[in-house]
A and B are shown apart, each in its own frame.
Chain A
Amino acid sequence: MFRSLTIEDCLSLNREDLAAESAKEIEKMEPVLKSFITVCKDHEFRSGEFAGIPIAVKDNITTKGVKTTCASKILENYVPPYNATVVEKLLLHGFTVVGKTNLDEFAMGSSTERSAFFPTRNPWDPTRVPGGSSGGSAAAVAGGEVVAALGSDTGGSVRQPASLCGVVGFKPTYGLVSRYGLIAFASSLDQIGPITKSVRDAAILMSVISGKDAMDSTTVDKNIDFLKDMENGISGMKFAVPKEVYDYEQLDSGVAVLFDEALKLAEKLGAKIRKVRIPSMKYAVAVYYVIAPAEASSNLARYDGVKYGLRVEEKGLKDMYKRTRREGFGEEVRRRIMLGTFTLSAAYYEAYFNKAQKVRRVLSSELDSVLTENDAILTPTSPITAFKLGEVKDPLTYYLMDIFTAPANLAGLPAISVPYGFSNDLPVGLQIMSRRFHDAKVLRIARSFEKNSPYNSNGRIRLPVVKA
């Protein structure tokens, strides 16, 4: 049964035909899910530990000779001259990249509705969004089109869609995975992470893609064994739960119930739960929406119609710039570029950007101090479950969905979303966040929930039955 295969499952199989099976599933499911922007046709079977295992890569990660669009008109026909470091590593270990998955344009969004091409559907209910921005990767994994996928997470873009699609999504510590070849949204927040059908798979992919990279000077040299303590459980651990979770008015009641259930399970497994206050957490979204657009406004300046991508010809340079960028970028991207341009302008730099940087440091140190006394911080991943396409229109409502995920990016911490039950038949995710470079611990805790969740069978998460 290809659709439920994990990386670990594949290891004991004949893998020559896996890519073909993946292609068959993609062909069958794509009319419903629309996870992919580009499906790769000719796959070379590479040798290596993970030879032949089909994997999907978010379309904001460069693939040499294969279109990489960022789901934007401005890069609709862009073919990168180089592979991202993570792609090089996947190929080196034998993985077969079967396609490039859909996303919110330039990873700006939480529903994949903001792709310039088409929205992706949630495999649990195709009338609903898969979350975002790595919605294509999450849907492709949950829908059984691939064994695993890579996404990118700037404010929750791996964890939130994983939560909404009922799969595992891991955002590593900032600096563990090279960003070389990840088309930048907000450089100080962006991190590539795996989306998988099991926590162990997330750990396996981490051991493949992590490591210091000479091409990315923000990467660090840490030798982490992601799998070593995986099965050791959580007995004796201390978990902090921010009271701010309960202060949050938009928290879905079904999500709240499951979250409390998860906490009880943790206690049953020998962990202690402690309620804490993280006062700056309520500013996380505000800080995030100052810093991320500021960096984005600069990162996206290169799409000017001069060198590559879309150019709308006009008389004169300025008009060419203007029309190219107006027609090439979608509404949300333009909104964020304007926001960022404003907050970086000399007159407002102190009031917005610099103040946001200060609050970011305060939040970071508050999280650090909670995490020196506790093994992890637990929250729901998303305050709500998958919503209907077109249901959320107001940008602020959108932004507020990042409330629980954005802090990990602002502080550079590792955080995972692991499925924990269903609210109205839609998956709910539990987020586990820990100290910098304690990624193995995050995975170990997540594995314990996965193994013991009453909603899983034999420690395996449930996958949807999609009607193709």
Chain B
Amino acid sequence: MKTVIGLEIHVQLLTETKAFCSCSANVFEKAPNTMICPVCTGQPGALPTVNKMMIEYAVRTALALNCEIHRFSRFDRKNYFYPDLPKGYQITQYFYPIATNGCLELDVGKERKKVRIRRLHIEEDAGKLMHEGDAITKAHHTLVDMNRCGVPLIEIVTEPDLTSPREARRFLEKLRSILRYLRVSSGDMEKGALRCDANISVVDEKGFSSNRVEVKNMNSFKFVEKALQFEQNRIIQALKSGSNVEKETRGWDLTSKTTVSMRGKEEESDYRYFPEPDIPPVVISDEYIEKIKESLPELPDQKKDRFTRDYGIPELDAEVLTSTRELADFYEECVKIKPKPKEISNWIMTELLREMKNSESEAVPISPRHLVELIELVEAGSVSIKMAKEMFPEIFATKKMPRQIVEERGLKQVNDKDVIEKIIKQAMEQNPKAVRQYRSGKKGVLGYFVGAVMKQTQGMANPQLVNEIARKLLEG
């Protein structure tokens, strides 16, 4: 059995304003219907005007995905009725998308696999419906929030090159990482900034292909994988029993952890696409594309290769460190101040990422100085490595500099020879018997004197130094 998966991904762009009007595009969790104007609410007579940033963001993304950028593209209308679509049509690019024929490389096991991208086009988002009561079928009435109307999206359609639910998830994670590197989208699936529909079918050993099922409503990476796993099993079961699945659209249902039928083939709509007469074609020049190409940041794969090469760190380290642009920048800043690439990597991979995960933080809240200072304190012997690790959560949470915490907590190691000598001499006077035992060859008694120092200094004395001084005094 061979699984065939293709994805259709909608990406919300982080432009300042909406696709076709000057309303702010930052509408997340804003009070309903406060981020709107005559254009995005489809008032009679209002007309769309193209947001130039949106075109630029689409071209950036298309370049990063190795697409062919089209010098001529055009907007079209997709016509259908729904209350979240105030104009009765969505402005999209159907006949002439801005980019086609791209690919994204995915590491699968030891090999790098190419997932082809069929097309990338620009379109506008629709509004949101709020059903009074939970279920749409039981709602007495429904409210419309038009804030999201006209927020710019790009739709990315892959070829059916993915062969497992796991791969589909990996593809999405990689795509998100690229989108974030490009700073074109937040890529948050949970917030709807990245949305994914999948087409899945299974081909059996005899080469017979099942019907294709479209799966929707998967609003996290985990659910994409889970829903596709469920669907894959459902199709395989059907094939094994000699039947087939319906060609239909199904949705991931959170409560039952299954997919449920949304609509069948016979309900497929005719969207009556035709060229949008209100917007002239988008014509871009080679110079424009070149300029954007030059402004592209180093992408995750390139950065990863460079990290292993330039810093001599293992591939796994490089992969983790380049998972976000912020983390990679943080790492490089640290290494720049303190050229200890592997040691810094270890700190980030263990302590920093753990704290970030625990606090569900996506940004790195501390500065490179924090980490470098901590490492230097250990190097100088001012704190032990164990102590440094204990301190890390506090540094992370409070953003206090390590030295400050050491001082506040009185954590500083006692390195003062005179202090240590004084304590040991005192102990020797109080316990001459132990001194004699040591001198007669019972070297184990040393521990008693070391313990005495640790007790007096509340464990703050530098153990190496204590050992050294104790031995010297006892051997007299």
Q: Which of A28-36, A40-48, A268-276, A341-349 contacts B (4 or more CB under 8 A)?
A: A341-349
A345 and B45 CA atoms in complex are apart in Å by 25
Among B28-53, those with CB < 8 Å from A are 38, 41-50
A217 to B83, CA, bound (A): 27
CA distance in complex: A419, B154 (Å)? 53
Q: Which of A182, A295, A347 contacts B45 (CB 8 A)?
A: A182
- A440: CB under 8 A from chain B? no
- Other-chain residue from B42, B274, B277, B278 in contact with A307 (beta carbon distance below 8 A): B42
CB of A355, distance to nearest CB on chain B (Å): 13
Interface string of B5-45 (1 = CB under 8 A from A): 00000000000000000000000000000000010011111
CB distance from B276 to the nearest CB of A (A): 8
Q: Which of B43, B49, B277 contacts A188 (CB 8 A)?
A: B277
User: Is B86 engaged at the interface, CB distance under 8 Å to the other chain?
Assistant: yes
**A345 B272 Cβ-Cβ under 8 A:** yes
Whether A353 sits at the interface, judged by CB under 8 Å, is: yes
A293–B86 Cα gap in the complex (Å)?
Answer: 20
Bound form: Cα–Cα A187–B447 in Å: 93
Assembled-state Cα–Cα distance A32/B197 (Å) = 62
Q: For the complex, what is the distance from the CA of A347 to the CA of B86, rounded to whole Å?
A: 26
List, in ascending order, chain A residues with CB within 8 A of B86's CB.
302, 306-307
Are A298 and B49 also in contact (CB < 8 A) when A188-B277, A217-B280, A307-B42 are?
no
In whole angstroms, how far apart are the Cα atoms of A163 and B416 in the complex? 108
Smallest CB-CB separation from B80: which chain A residue? A301
Residue of B nearest to A81 (CB): B38
Within 8 A of B (CB), among A213-237: 214-218
Interface residue A259 (Cβ < 8 Å from any Cβ of B)? no
Report yes or no: B88 in contact with A302, Cβ–Cβ below 8 A. Answer: yes
> Is residue B116 within 8 Å, beta carbon to beta carbon, of the partner chain?
no
B79 CB within 8 Å of chain A: yes
Q: Within 8 Å CB of A341, what residues of B?
A: 272
Any A CB within 8 A of the CB of B81: yes
CB of B423, distance to nearest CB on chain A (Å): 81
Residue B189 is within 8 A (CB to CB) of chain A in the complex: no
A428 at the interface (CB under 8 A from B): no
Q: Judge whether B377 is part of the interface by a CB distance below 8 angstroms.
A: no
Contacts of A180 in B (CB 8 A): 45-47
B144 at the interface (CB under 8 A from A): yes
Given A298-B79, A302-B87, A341-B272, check contact A61 B280 (CB 8 Å): no
Set of chain B residues within 8 Å of A62, measured between Cβ atoms: 43-45
- When the two chains form their complex, are residues A298 and B43 in contact, meaning their CB atoms are under 8 A apart? no
Task: Map CB proximity to B onto A158-199 as digits: 1 under 8 Å, 0 otherwise.
Answer: 000000000000000000000111111011100000000000
A453 contacts the other chain (Cβ, under 8 Å)?
A: no
**Complex interface: chain B residues within 8 A of A218 (CB):** 277-280
B42, B43, B77, B79: the one within 8 Å of A82 (CB): B43
In whole angstroms, how far apart are the Cα atoms of A46 and B164 in the complex?
70
Q: Is B438 an interface residue (CB 8 A)?
A: no
Chain A: minimal CB distance from B238 (Å): 30
Which of A82, A304, A346 meets B272, CB within 8 Å?
Answer: A346
Interface of chain A residues 254 through 302 with chain B (CB within 8 A): 294-295, 297-298, 300-302
Q: Specify the main secondary structure of chain B where it touches its partner.
A: loop
| Interface residues in A77-108 (C-beta closer than 8 Å to B) | 78, 80-82, 84
Interface contact B278-A181, CB-CB below 8 Å:
no
Contact at B38–A82, with CB atoms within 8 Å? yes
Q: Is the CB of B45 within 8 A of A183?
A: yes
**Complex interface: chain B residues within 8 A of A349 (CB):** 272-274
Nearest-neighbour CB distance to chain B for A331, whole angstroms, equals 21
Residues of A331-357 at the interface with B, using a CB-CB cut-off of 8 Å, are 341, 344-347, 349, 353
Chain A residues near B81 (CB-CB < 8 A): 301, 304, 321
Q: Which residue of A lies closest to B269 (CB)?
A: A346
Distance in Å: Cβ of A372 to nearest Cβ of chain B: 24
CB of A375, distance to nearest CB on chain B (Å): 28
| Bound CA span A82–B36, Å | 13
For A344, what are the chain B residues with a Cβ–Cβ distance below 8 Å? 79, 272-274
The residue from A78, A81, A298 contacting B88, defined by CB atoms under 8 A apart? A298
Q: Within 8 Å of chain B (Cβ to Cβ): is A308?
A: yes
CB <8 Å contact, B77 and A298: yes
Q: Are A317 and B83 in contact (CB under 8 A)?
A: yes
Does B205 count as interface, using CB distance less than 8 angstroms? Answer: no
Q: Which of B44, B79, B87 contacts A78 (CB 8 A)?
A: B44
What B residues does A307 contact at CB under 8 A? 41-42, 86, 144
A295 to B79, CA, bound (A): 11
- Flag if A217 contacts B44 (CB, 8 Å): no
Instruction: Tell me whether A298 and B44 are in contact (CB under 8 A).
Output: no
Taking a contact as CB atoms closer than 8 A, the residue among B43, B77, B272 that contacts A81 in the complex is B43
Chain B 81-119 near chain A by CB (<8 Å), digits 1 or 0: 101001111000000000000000000000000000000
A61, A217, A298: which contacts B50 (Cβ < 8 A)? A217
- Does B270 have its Cβ within 8 Å of any Cβ on chain A? yes
Q: Is the CB of A217 within 8 A of B278?
A: yes
Q: Are B48 and A217 neighbours in the complex by a CB distance under 8 Å?
A: yes
B44 with A75: CB separation less than 8 A: yes
A343–B206 CA distance with the chains assembled, in angstroms: 43
Residue of A nearest to B83 (CB): A306
CA distance A186 to B87 in the complex (A): 15
| Smallest CB gap from B272: residue in A | A344
Report if A384 contacts B (CB, 8 A): no
Which B residues are in CB contact (< 8 Å) with A187?
277-278
Chain B residue with Cβ nearest A179: B47
User: Contact check: which of B49, B270, B273 meets A217 at CB < 8 Å?
Assistant: B49
1/0 per residue, CB under 8 A from B, across A300-337: the answer is 11101011100000000100010000000000000000
A68 within 8 A of B: yes
Task: Report how far A217 CA is from B79 CA in the complex, Å.
Answer: 21
Instruction: Encode contact with A along B249-281: 1 for CB under 8 Å, 0 otherwise.
Output: 000000000000000000000101110011110
Query: Is A142 an interface position by the 8 A CB rule?
Result: no
- List the B residue with the shortest CB-CB distance to A69: B44
Q: Which residue of B lies closest to A106 (CB)?
A: B44
- Nearest to B79 among chain A residues (CB) is A298
Option from A70, A188, A294, A304 in Cβ contact (under 8 Å) with B44 = A70
CB distance from A74 to the nearest CB of B (A): 10
Minimum CB distance partner of B49 in chain A: A217
Tell me if B88 and A217 are in contact (CB < 8 A). Answer: no
Candidate in A75, A345, A347 with the most chain B CB atoms within 10 angstroms: A345
* Cα–Cα, bound, A318→B47 (Å): 27
Q: How far is the CB of B332 from chain A (nearest CB, A)?
A: 43
Residues in A neighbouring B87, C-beta threshold 8 A: 301-302
- Cβ-defined contact, A80 with B280, below 8 A: no
In the bound complex, CA of A115 to CA of B274 (Å): 29
Find chain A residues with CB under 8 A from B77 CB.
298
Nearest CB of chain B from residue A306's CB, rounded to whole Å: 5
In the complex, which of the residues A61, A78, A216 contacts B47, with contact meaning CB atoms closer than 8 Å?
Answer: A216
Closest Cβ of chain A: how far from B184's Cβ, in Å? 23
Give the Cβ gap from B174 to chain A, nearest Cβ, in Å: 35
Is the CB–CB distance between B277 and A301 below 8 Å? Answer: no
Residues 61-75 of chain A, each 1 if its beta carbon lies under 8 Å from chain B, else 0: 110000010100001
Query: Is the beta-carbon distance between A298 and B274 smaller than 8 angstroms?
Result: yes
Residues of chain B within 8 A (CB-CB) of A184 are 44-45, 278
Say whether, besides A217-B48, A217-B50, A302 and B274 are in contact (CB < 8 Å): no
* 29 contacting pairs across A/B (C-beta < 8 A): A80-B45, A81-B38, A179-B45, A180-B45, A180-B47, A182-B45, A186-B277, A187-B277, A214-B49, A215-B49, A216-B278, A217-B48, A217-B278, A218-B278, A294-B274, A295-B277, A297-B79, A298-B272, A298-B274, A301-B89, A302-B88, A306-B144, A307-B42, A344-B272, A344-B273, A344-B274, A346-B270, A347-B270, A353-B274
Interface residues of B (CB under 8 A from A): 38, 41-50, 77, 79, 81, 83, 86-89, 144, 270, 272-274, 277-280
Not counting A68-B44, A78-B44, A344-B273, a sample of 11 additional A-B residue pairs whose C-beta atoms are within 8 angstroms of each other reads A80-B38, A81-B43, A215-B49, A217-B47, A218-B278, A300-B88, A307-B42, A321-B81, A344-B79, A349-B272, A349-B273
Q: Enumerate the 9 nearest inter-chain pairs by beta-carbon distance, A residue then B residue, closest first.
A: A301-B88, A344-B272, A188-B277, A187-B277, A183-B44, A181-B45, A183-B45, A302-B42, A62-B45
